[in-house]
Amino acid sequence: MTIVPGANGSANPAAAIAYHDTLAEGWARRYESGGFKRRAEFFLHEVLPRAAVGGRWLDIGCGSGVFSRMLAAAGAKVTGVDGSAAMIEAARAIPSSGASPRYEVETIETLARAGDGYDGALFLSVLEYLDDPKGALAAVAERLRPDGLLILSAPNRRSGLRLLQRSLRALSSIFGSRAFPYLETSKGAWSHGELIALATGAGLPCEAALGFDPVAPRSLWPVVSPSLWFLLCRKGAAAC
């Protein structure tokens, strides 16, 4: 498979995929504790119940399939796709308590080719790695049936945690190291309004938006800017 790096000097799809290749082996284990576990629990208990899960779902940038398996356990027939062959290999090796998802190596860029009428799609923590987020969202919209649901997550540009990580990364570079290596390829971040506008512009108006922070106590979420947005977007619906 040939992936053409982005020409605009922003996120580079080949670099983001190569980076995740190196993380694939331990990716699912990250969800056993800490902020990853809290994010997965938030998704399971607070995001997923807002969706009528059933029919055929696509998990785009599925990694090692943690969320694909949650969807399958909730009753959906799931296809997980990811540009990282190592992530897909890891996903295939993990059993599912529901019907096993099907996993395929496929990039967002090749997704644009077909419209498959999926009932729903997950697009979790992937958008920020892409050169053309709007084009990617339009490609996802193409894969959904009319009224199909997209569950999207992406970083908040105003998150204090992300700003802190960026500052520490800049500081560490003075001493010859690079803290928070994911920031090398994770470039995109959006305010609440920007993310909603981006999805709406791609034909996916938002019907619910939730903030989540893996570090700040929940009581502080109304006052701190959370690190992540979860949007539920319905193809063809009125904007929220």
Ligand X SMILES: C[S@@+](CC[C@H](N)C(=O)[O-])C[C@H]1O[C@@H](n2cnc3c(N)ncnc32)[C@H](O)[C@@H]1O
Asked if 119 is part of the footprint of ligand X (rule: CB under 6 A), the reply reads no
Structure tokens belonging to residue 123: 């697009």
Q: Give me the least distance between CB of 82 and ligand X, in Å please.
A: 5
Tell me which residues in 178-237 interact with ligand X (CB under 6 A): none
Task: Give, to the nearest 10 degrees, the angle between helix 133-143 and helix 192-201.
Answer: 50
User: In the 8-state DSSP scheme, what is residue 196?
Assistant: H
Residue selected from 48, 53, 83, 90 as contacting ligand X according to rule CB under 6 A? 83
Asked if 124 is part of the footprint of ligand X (rule: CB under 6 A), the reply reads yes
Edge-to-edge strand ranges of the sheet holding 228-234: 102-105, 77-82, 56-60, 118-124, 144-155, 228-234, 206-212
Given the rule CB under 6 A, which of 57-65, 113-121, 162-170, 173-181 is the region that contacts ligand X?
57-65
Structure tokens belonging to residue 158: 């105003």
**CA pair distance 159, 162, nearest whole angstrom:** 5
3-state secondary structure of 12: coil
Asked if 42 is part of the footprint of ligand X (rule: CB under 6 A), the reply reads no
Could you tell me which residues come within 8 angstroms of residue 110 by beta carbon, excluding any fewer than 6 positions away?
A: 1
Asked if 127 is part of the footprint of ligand X (rule: CB under 6 A), the reply reads no
Given the rule CB under 6 A, which of 59-67, 92-100, 112-120, 173-181 is the region that contacts ligand X?
59-67
| Minimum CB distance to ligand X smaller for 63 or for 148 | 63
Site map 130..159 versus ligand X, x via CB under 6 A: x-----------------------------
The sign of the dihedral angle between the CA atoms of 15, 178, 134, 117 is positive
First to last CA, the chain: 39
Residue selected from 57, 72, 91, 107 as contacting ligand X according to rule CB under 6 A? 107
Residues that bind ligand X (CB under 6 A): 13, 16-17, 20, 61-63, 66-67, 82-84, 87, 107-109, 124-126, 129-130
